[in-house]
Structure 1
C-alpha cells in the first residue's frame, strides 16, 4: 500500500471515529478538543527571503498533496519571540493538533512545548529546521555539515593563500541553535587550515547588523588584512558585501547559505563566491510528511535520532558559479529569467545559465 493510500485510509478512519463520537467537541481532557484536520506552521522571520518564498508554499503544497482534508494555519513571527509565543498559543486554542515550529528562540520554545504538551496530551510538535527539546520529530539539514561545507568552500576559494589567510567570521544569532552548529562546522573546516580567524562576531541574522560588524572588522584589522569573509547566511552576506564595496575591498571570497535569489545573482556577478543550497523541495515536504503522519497517528520513518528525537537530516549542497544551472535552476527554484537581469545577461551566457 502506498503512503497516499495509508494516509487516505487513516483520514477516513478518523473521520468515521469523529462522526461516531458526535464530532470533535466534548468534555474532559483538552487533548480531545484538538482538530483532526488542522496543521500549524510557525516560521521565525521574514528577513531571510526563503521562508515566505520557498518554505511556506512548499510545505503547504506537500500537505495538500497527501491530505486533501487538512487545513494549514500559518504565521510568521517576524523575529519576535513574544509574537511567536502568542501565535503558538492561538494555534492550540484553535484546536490545532500538530504544529511544525521553526522557533525564534529554541530554548524558550522548549519551555512552551513542555507546558503545552502537559496540558494537551494529543499535541504533536515537529521541530522544523531548528531542534527543540521535547518535540516529537525533527526535520532539518545536517547543520554542522553546512558549516563544514562553508569553511571548505572558503578554503577552496583562497587556494594557495589559505594557509596564511586572515579570515573574518560573521556568525548567526546566538539564540539560534543552528547558528552554533554552523559555527562549529565552519571552525572544524577552517581551524588549522587558514592563517587565523582575525575577527569573529554575531550578525544576528540581520544584514544591517552584519554590515556594521564588517565595518568594525575593517576598522580593527585594516583593509589590507582581510582575505576572506565567512557569512553564516546569504542575507548577512549582502550587508557584508555592501560594506566591503563601500570600503573599496573587492573580489575577496565571501560565502553564505540559503541560495537566496539575490545571493545567486551576486554569485553570477562575481561579488559573492558561494552559497549553500538546502533544498526546500526536500525540507518543507519532508516536514509536511512528518506532520501528516503525526496527525494520522502513523509510524514515523525517521532515519536517525537527535537527542532522542526521531529525526530526518538532509544533505546540503554548495552552489557556486559552476553549478547554478544544475541545482537551483534544474530543481525549478528559479528560472534563468528570474536571475538573469539585463545587466547580468552576458555573465549568465558565459556560465551557461538558460
Structure 2
C-alpha cells in the first residue's frame, strides 16, 4: 500500500510539471508597443551649421521642358562657383511653392531665386524669405504686389510680344481683312500681360485699319482703336483668350474658335509660347487650304523641329543660358557684397523692381541653323531636315 501511494504521488507530480511546462510554451506576454518607431511628422529641415545651402531656387513645374532644362543649366552654372544650391519644383501649386520656400529658409539660404507659379500668390512666400534677411531674385516671372523683391532677371517680356506681333505684320504684306486669332498665357502670370502688351502695340494699328480682323475675342474688337490698353482692359481680353500656358487648354480653345469662326486662306495666329503654338497649329492644320502663320517663344526642341518642317512659323529664342547666367551672377554678387548692375526696372504693383533685361532673338526657317545650331544652343543631331 505504501508503494502504491508513493507511485500515485510521483505520477501526480509529473503531470503537474508537464502541465506547467505546456502553459509556458503556448502563452506569451503581449508585446509592448514600440513608441520609438512612429512615423515622424514632416517639418522643415534645420539649417546646416556651416550654411551649406547658399542659394535656393524654386521653379514652377517639371511638366514643361523649359523648367527641366533650366534645372540642369542652374546646376551647370553653380558648378563654376564656390557656392551651393538646392532646386525645388512647385508643380503648379502655390501652396507647395510656399512650402518649398519655407524649406529653403530653414536650410539657411542667403539668396532665393524664384519663378512664381502665380505672381500675386507668391508674394506671401517671398515676404517670409525677406523677413529672414534673404535677398529675393524674381526669375523670368515677376512676383507682384509686394516690396519683398530685390531684383528681377528677365528677358524683356514686352519685346518678346513685340517680336511676335512684328512677325505677323511682316507677313501680312498688302493683305486686308485677314483672319487674326489671339491667344495669351495665364491670366495669373504678369508676363502674360507684358507679352500681350508688346504684341498689341504692334498689331493694334493693323487691327484698327482693317488689315487684321480679330476672330476670337469680342473684347479685342471692342478696344481695337485703343493703342494703349489699361491693365484691366488687357485682363478682359486675356480672360477670353487665355491658354493658361497649357497645350491642352490651347487645343480646346482652338477647336472651339475654329468652329465659331472657321478660318480660310491666310490665317494669322498669335500664340504665346511653343507648347501652345504646336497645339494650336495642329488644330488649324486640319482645315484645308490654310496658309498658317503662328508665333511662339522659348525655342523648345519640338518647336524647332516644327520650324524646320515649316509648321510653326517662328519662335522667340530667349537664350536661357544667358538668363541663368544673369541670375547666378546676381546671386553670387549679392553673396560677395558686390554692386549689382541693372539695365531696366519693372513696377510690380507695390514697388519698382530693378531688373536685368536679356536680349531676345526671332528664329525662323531662314536663320534656325545660325541661331540654334551654330550658336551651340542645341545639337544638330537632335533634328531632321537641316
TM-score calculated relative to the size of structure 1 = 0.82
Q: Which of 158, 169, 172 lines up with 1:158 in the alignment?
A: 172
Distance, in Å, in 2 between the alignment partners of 1:103 and 1:265 is 29
The DSSP-based 3-state class of the residue aligned with 1:99 is strand
Distance, in Å, in 1 between the alignment partners of 2:330 and 2:52 is 15
The DSSP-based 3-state class of the residue aligned with 1:78 is coil
Distance, in Å, in 1 between the alignment partners of 2:247 and 2:180 is 19
Q: Which of 160, 178, 196 lines up with 1:146 in the alignment?
A: 160
What's the CA shift for 1:36?
Answer: 6.5
Rate the CA distance shift 1:208–1:248 in 2: closer, same or farther, 3 A: farther
Answering whether residue 204 of structure 2 is matched by residue 191 of structure 1, we say: yes
The DSSP-based 3-state class of the residue aligned with 2:181 is strand
Distance, in Å, in 2 between the alignment partners of 1:309 and 1:174 is 21
Structure 1 or 2, whichever has the larger Rg, is: 2
Residues 22-171 of structure 1 mapped to structure 2, 5 A cutoff = 35=51, 37-53=53-69, 55-65=70-80, 67-68=81-82, 70-118=83-131, 120=132, 122-132=133-143, 133=146, 134-161=148-175, 163-171=176-184
Residues 203-218 of structure 1 mapped to structure 2, 5 A cutoff = 203-218=243-258
Deviations 1:266-298 (A, max 9, x none): 011111100000001210111111111122222
Distance, in Å, in 2 between the alignment partners of 1:171 and 1:279 is 21
What's the CA shift for 1:226?
Answer: 7.0
Deviations 1:154-187 (A, max 9, x none): 11123222x4222111100010000110011111
The DSSP-based 3-state class of the residue aligned with 1:111 is helix
Deviations 1:45-64 (A, max 9, x none): 234312112x2222222222
**Structure 1 unaligned regions, length at least 5:** 1-29, 349-354
Distance, in Å, in 1 between the alignment partners of 2:301 and 2:86 is 27
The number of residues matched between the two structures is 307
- 1:220 equivalent in structure 2: 260
What's the CA shift for 1:71?
Answer: 1.4
Larger helix proportion, structure 1 or 2?
1
The DSSP-based 3-state class of the residue aligned with 1:56 is helix
- Indicate conservation of the 8 Å contact 2:266/2:291, yes or no: no
Rate the CA distance shift 1:50–1:299 in 2: closer, same or farther, 3 A: same
Residues 340-351 of structure 1 mapped to structure 2, 5 A cutoff = 340=384, 345=385, 348=386
- Indicate conservation of the 8 Å contact 2:101/2:129, yes or no: no
Residues 309-320 of structure 1 mapped to structure 2, 5 A cutoff = 309-320=353-364
Q: Which of 282, 307, 319 lines up with 1:242 in the alignment?
A: 282
The DSSP-based 3-state class of the residue aligned with 1:224 is coil
Answering whether residue 365 of structure 2 is matched by residue 321 of structure 1, we say: yes
Rate the CA distance shift 1:143–1:302 in 2: closer, same or farther, 3 A: same
- Greater RCO (Cα-Cα under 8 Å, separation 6 or more): 1
- 1:335 equivalent in structure 2: 379
The DSSP-based 3-state class of the residue aligned with 1:253 is strand
Report which stretch shifted further, 257-266 or 242-251: 242-251
Rate the CA distance shift 1:154–1:33 in 2: closer, same or farther, 3 A: farther
What's the CA shift for 1:216?
Answer: 1.1
Distance, in Å, in 2 between the alignment partners of 1:204 and 1:123 is 31
The DSSP-based 3-state class of the residue aligned with 2:85 is strand
The DSSP-based 3-state class of the residue aligned with 1:159 is coil
Report which stretch shifted further, 192-201 or 174-183: 192-201
Distance, in Å, in 2 between the alignment partners of 1:299 and 1:107 is 28
Report which stretch shifted further, 219-228 or 289-298: 219-228
